[in-house]
Amino acid sequence: MASKLGMIVENIYTVLVANEIHGYNVVECHEWSEEEKKDLEFFDRMPVLKITSELMDYIENGMNELPEQLLKDIEGKTKVKVVHEWTTVKYAFVATDGQRVIVVNAKESDRPRLKGRLVPRIEQLVYEITEGVEPTEYEFTKPERVGYLFDPKLMIGLTRKERQKKQVLYYGLQDFEYEEHKNLSKIKYYYGEFNYKGLDSISSNTFDEILHRLMDEVKVGWTKAHDQLTKLIVSTDEYLAELYYALD
């Protein structure tokens, strides 16, 4: 069995995303835009950690405090050569649970300030060198309240644009929860635009019941109905409209 610590990968190219709590927005390399490719980050060498899936979720989907022992294990092991001088990044590493891989650069903080993905060749190397390695068990406290709108696993299988549009949809639906005057006719109209056949089944429901049912029904996938509902919602919200139409 390979050693848990001391694993290193070299020649890492990645696009680092700042302060991102949604793992689905830390995109795979095939979804990097041309602009992002111009700002590729390079590291000569980085430590690799095999961690549990629970810790992977905690790091990938949040801006949570990294385990103290993890920081000690990787401190100063990331190296970058600038001209002929070697520089050290205090807290940076590659982590995998055997199913996913993420690059983290916390710089000198205790939180995953910058996150990225690897190119396929290096990602495959990470899987190979961690195969047969038991995950290191780091102590951490799960947050009582998560910061993302819904289970990130619901974004699996969608394109980058679809994921971003779905996030706008959820922002719009979430805003309805905080409306002072909850218009029952309006929420029924929105529901009918997404699921016309289900209108009869919500005829006696309250505003909140219909809204929560709609939020539940839009969770899976991305269809023409999702897109039409989003366009309808953003038509009355200038900020969300700007976010949405910037994606086309």
Q: Does residue 21 carry a pLDDT above 60?
A: yes
- Rounded to 10 deg, the angle between the 207-217 and 160-176 helix axes is 170
Q: Which amino acid, 3?
A: S
Q: How confident is the model over 185-197, as pLDDT tens digits?
A: 999 999 999 999 9
Query: What pLDDT sits at residue 1?
Result: 38
User: Where is average pLDDT lowest: 35-49, 134-148, 183-197?
Assistant: 134-148
Res. 155 pLDDT band, cuts 50 70 90: confident
Whole-angstrom distance, CA of residue 53 vs CA of residue 115: 17
User: What pLDDT, on the 0 to 100 scale, is given for residue 4?
Assistant: 63
In this structure, the strands spanning 91-96 and 41-50 are parallel
Compute CA distances 193 → 33, 91, 100, 231, whole Å.
33, 49, 37, 11
Q: Name the 3-class secondary structure at 150.
A: coil
- DSSP at 26: S
**What pLDDT is stored for residue 32 in this prediction?**
94
168: left (phi over 0), alpha (psi -120 to 50) or beta: alpha
Q: Considering the entire predicted model, what is its pTM?
A: 0.82
Q: What angle do CA 61, 100, 170 make, to 5 degrees?
A: 35
Number of residues written out for the chain = 248
pLDDT at 151 (0 to 100) = 75
**What value does the mean pLDDT take over residues 41-57?**
96
